Structure 1
Amino acid sequence: MKKHLIINADDFGYCEERNKGIVECYKAGAVTSTTLMVSGQAAQQAAELISEYNISVGLHFNITEGQPVCQSLQTSGCTFTDANGWKLGMIGFREALHSQKVDMKEVKLELESQLQKFQSLCGHLPHHVDGHQHVHTLDGVREVFAEVLSSHNISCTRLPVEDVNVPWLNSDWKQFFTSVVNSAVEAKDLFYQNGISSTDHFLGMTTMGSDMDSEMTEERIQSALKAIFSPDNTINKDKSSVSCELMVHPGYPNCDLQGGCGQGPDGFAKSADRLHEVQVLTSSAMQQFYKEQGIKLISFKDL
């Protein structure tokens, strides 16, 4: 059984410090793909780095942070922004969606606008698209997401279906991650019906940053990948080739007020979590592990 691993770095373009960490990991062979946040303060620089280093890149669809990319939604206001024109955040957007306050026509406009901006920055449409904070799998959003990607012949996305029953997660994170997994499971058939595929497995929510509640360590990644690629894993039954996406967030601490999507960097960006991920991902132990396990590192274009 062939083992294929995509290591995708989220949030490219969020700030220059994030860009630096992602490129460093890419050059070291520790990241194979990235997703560009076109509303990020350093999106233009990220696009230049993509061209310089020929980085495999997708769109990181962002509907929870900063201002809309769509000009008409900026000027007239919309159902997923507050009175000041800022998006509602990870939880705020979900609450508005649950209350049926979000106009899906506006979500479609925003996704189309972000695709257009991606094309203007990179010179082509993305091969794959995922959602910042996993919004693309949410009920209501996923229908729009599938329609738009299918209309542009974009054939790959992320399905964050992960075993979150791990002892180090606190109850709040476990509850949130469980909701993410449930939404992804519900979205799977819809995506496939629209010609949008994904990897067989996903890892990354339970191995993120340096916080003890969800810490990335070499041991946790290696243990999870062994289980994922095991012949005893029921998903792998009768498969000659198995794929997995490892979601990562490398970078350097950003204390510059110019970072982020217009409101400055968040706590995760200011912390040492991003640098911790750079150090783990580029460690010789991880590179040796891939070789010993016969894991081939690929990008979404190789699926």
Structure 2
Amino acid sequence: MIKKLIINADDFGMCEGNSLGILLAHEEGLVSSTTVMMNMPYALWALDKAKAYPNLGIGVHLTLTAGKPLLPGKKSYTDEEGNFLRPSAYEDEFPDGEPDEVYEEWKAQIEAFIAHTGHLPTHLDSHHYVHMEHRQLEVIKRLAKEYNLPIRQTRYVDENYFPARCEFYKDGVSFETFKEICSTEGYDTVELVCHPALVDERLMNVSSYNMNRIKELELLKSDEFKQFIKDHDIQIITYADIKNN
């Protein structure tokens, strides 16, 4: 059984509903951390709402496959209308942005977070896990070193590795999956990736993964989950706690 668990809710700032759902999953449930999509229309609004929750760790959910980039102009990762290419648009590699261009865009997203909050994010990860693709992996490693930040690792990247478990998703949204993740062998610390939300019209329009987010929210608030954490003496932490140890 693990000793420490980070429960990180992705997609903060995507819309009002999912952002409020994440805050509710933190206030009334087990979510300890979130990552914000700085190119989304509700990103700054969500960050302002989060000021009321100082114990919520907030990182940046680096984005390359949803919405528009922060930096203007035609790029290797945009279509003719200036939108990020959707995952289905990539033929050979996923994604296929030029690393130097991706670096500048992702740096702009991190800097936008710092400019609005006045502090560094707790960590870095990415929408659709594109930072773990080999061309972008070097980009995020460069940024992590530059800002001295940890990154989500779904497989071994550096000596600070502990696994991010992504199975709590779609058909895997269950108490059984939660228990299995908490029972990960060989590691004291694990990250559970989740997507709780209150579903609104924008979420239905922009994300194919929508209604199951309500189920995630209810489970992460449930007495059953909380009791399991208590019974097994698992400490709920954030990436800031990892960095400070």
* TM-score, L = length of structure 1: 0.74
The aligned residue for residue 168 of structure 1 is: none
Task: Tell me how far 1:98 sits from its aligned partner.
Answer: 6.0
Asked if structure 1 preserves the Cα contact closer than 8 Å seen for 2:13 and 2:36, the reply is yes
Distance 2:217 2:94 in 1: 36
The aligned residue for residue 207 of structure 1 is: 168
The aligned residue for residue 57 of structure 2 is: 56
The aligned residue for residue 9 of structure 1 is: 9
Deviations along 1:259-284, one digit per CA (max 9) or x if unpaired, are: 69xxx52222xx32111110111110
Distance 2:172 2:200 in 1: 20
Secondary structure of the residue aligned to 2:229 is helix
Q: Aligned in 2, Cα 1:81/1:281: closer, same or farther, shift over 3 Å? A: same
Distance 1:139 1:247 in 2: 21
The aligned residue for residue 125 of structure 2 is: 130
Specify the code of the residue in structure 1 equivalent to 2:153. L
Secondary structure of the residue aligned to 2:189 is strand
Asked if structure 2 preserves the Cα contact closer than 8 Å seen for 1:25 and 1:278, the reply is yes
Identity of aligned residues (%): 28
Distance 1:246 1:2 in 2: 12
The aligned residue for residue 152 of structure 2 is: 158
Instruction: Let me know the Cα RMSD of the aligned residues.
Output: 2.0
Correspondence for 2:138 among 140, 143, 146: 143
Deviations along 1:109-146, one digit per CA (max 9) or x if unpaired, are: 10111011111222112120001111111111111111
Deviations along 1:74-108, one digit per CA (max 9) or x if unpaired, are: 2x201101111111123434x36469x53211101
Correspondence for 1:244 among 190, 194, 197: 190
Q: Aligned in 2, Cα 1:98/1:291: closer, same or farther, shift over 3 Å? A: closer
The aligned residue for residue 266 of structure 1 is: 207
Which consecutive residues of structure 1, in runs of 5 or more, have no partner in the other structure? Answer: 161-183, 237-241
Secondary structure of the residue aligned to 1:294 is coil
Asked if structure 2 preserves the Cα contact closer than 8 Å seen for 1:79 and 1:102, the reply is yes
Deviations along 1:2-38, one digit per CA (max 9) or x if unpaired, are: 7000000001000000111001011014100111111
Correspondence for 1:275 among 211, 214, 220: 214
Ranges of 4+ aligned residues in structure 1 off by more than 4 Å: none
Question: Is residue 30 of structure 1 aligned with residue 30 of structure 2?
Answer: yes
Asked if structure 2 preserves the Cα contact closer than 8 Å seen for 1:96 and 1:102, the reply is no
The aligned residue for residue 295 of structure 1 is: 234
The aligned residue for residue 68 of structure 1 is: 69
Task: Tell me how far 1:294 sits from its aligned partner.
Answer: 1.4
Asked if structure 1 preserves the Cα contact closer than 8 Å seen for 2:2 and 2:182, the reply is no
The aligned residue for residue 219 of structure 1 is: 176
The aligned residue for residue 180 of structure 1 is: none
Distance 1:277 1:159 in 2: 22
Aligned residues: 241
Q: Aligned in 2, Cα 1:124/1:96: closer, same or farther, shift over 3 Å? A: farther
Secondary structure of the residue aligned to 2:124 is strand
Secondary structure of the residue aligned to 1:247 is strand
Question: Is residue 284 of structure 1 aligned with residue 223 of structure 2?
Answer: yes
Deviations along 1:28-83, one digit per CA (max 9) or x if unpaired, are: 1410011111111211111112212112100000011111111xxx2x20110111
Specify the code of the residue in structure 2 equivalent to 1:53. Y
Deviations along 1:171-214, one digit per CA (max 9) or x if unpaired, are: xxxxxxxxxxxxx34xx14xx4xxxx34x23222x2214xxxx3
The aligned residue for residue 92 of structure 1 is: 89
Largest Rg, 1 or 2? 1
